[in-house]
Structure 1
Amino acid sequence: MFLNKLCPNDEEEEDPTTEQLPPVHPMHNSEQQWDQMAPVLGMKFTNPSELKHCLTNYVVKYGYDLWYEKNDKYRLLVKCCKGKEPICPFRLWASWMQEERTF
């Protein structure tokens, strides 16, 4: 049922009695222990500093090398291993949400 909502079949008509599922984006828990912090796709933060703190803890635990390409109060672009081989495709882009006060 869930996958049918995500990828509806054009040949079938939608059932009007079926409820639409809201998108799920977890809120970061700043009270979590440092070694348990892990960024998740779509995760919401109260401000850019909270996201950078979470990333720093994650990097320390797993030994990643991150490069802050853009880092200001409106946006954050983080890449993996700038200028190192092998090239890592990781990229994190974050900015303020338009409809709510989360980053």
Structure 2
Amino acid sequence: MLRNPSFDIGMHFPNKSQFKEAVIHYGCKLGRKIWFKKNDKNRVRAACEEGCPFVIYASRIDESPTLVIKTMNLEHDCSVDQKLFWMNSTFMAQKYSNELRADPDWSVKGFTAAIQRDFGLEPSSQQIYRARKKACTLNKYDFVD
């Protein structure tokens, strides 16, 4: 689902963190600055910069942790941005941890090329180094019973 996130009214997410992760991935994929305007235990509203009509709103179903999309407008009037708040070393580490597990010696150039291919963004070499370090830490904990 996260490779090409798509949303529909009535779509369910098992919990708030999965919904937010999908919205963040969507924003990074399109190169848009998406912010969470409302974010409490019952609802999440994400919007783009001022004047852009993009909005997506999901709220909990009764007392369960499941969120359902109630309102959305996926149209954008804003421009694509190369500097995204969410496209940080933690996001990159989580996104590419499997690739780094398969090839621990994955070069910085290869990692950068993958990000450029997938997101059309140019990360700094420092971001790549931090992402590799975080991914290694994530992968260590994956193997612990």
Query: Tell me, which stretches of 5 or more residues in structure 1 are unaligned?
Result: 1-31
List aligned pairs for 1:35-54, cutoff 5 A. Answer: 35-54=3-22
Q: Give 2:33's aligned residue.
A: 65
| CA deviation map 1:69-99 (0-9, x unaligned) | 1112211111111x3xxx1122222111138
Q: Does 1:91 align with 2:59?
A: no
Give the letter for the 1:72 counterpart: D
Give me the TM-score of the superposition, normalised by structure 2: 0.41
Alignment partners' CA distance in 1, 2:10 and 2:33? 22
Divergent runs of 4+, >3 A: none
CA shift in 2, pair 1:99/1:75, >3 Å: closer
Give the letter for the 1:102 counterpart: T
| CA deviation map 1:25-84 (0-9, x unaligned) | xxxxxxx3x322222222110011000010111111111111211112211111111x3x
Query: Tell me, which stretches of 5 or more residues in structure 2 are unaligned?
Result: 68-145
Identity %: 34
Q: Structure with the greater relative contact order (CA < 8 A, sep ≥ 6): 1 or 2?
A: 2
Q: Give 2:66's aligned residue.
A: 102
SS, match of residue 70 in structure 1:
strand
User: How many residue pairs get matched?
Assistant: 67
List aligned pairs for 1:5-84, cutoff 5 A. Answer: 32=1, 34-81=2-49, 83=50
Give me the TM-score of the superposition, normalised by structure 1: 0.56
- Structure with bigger gyration radius: 1
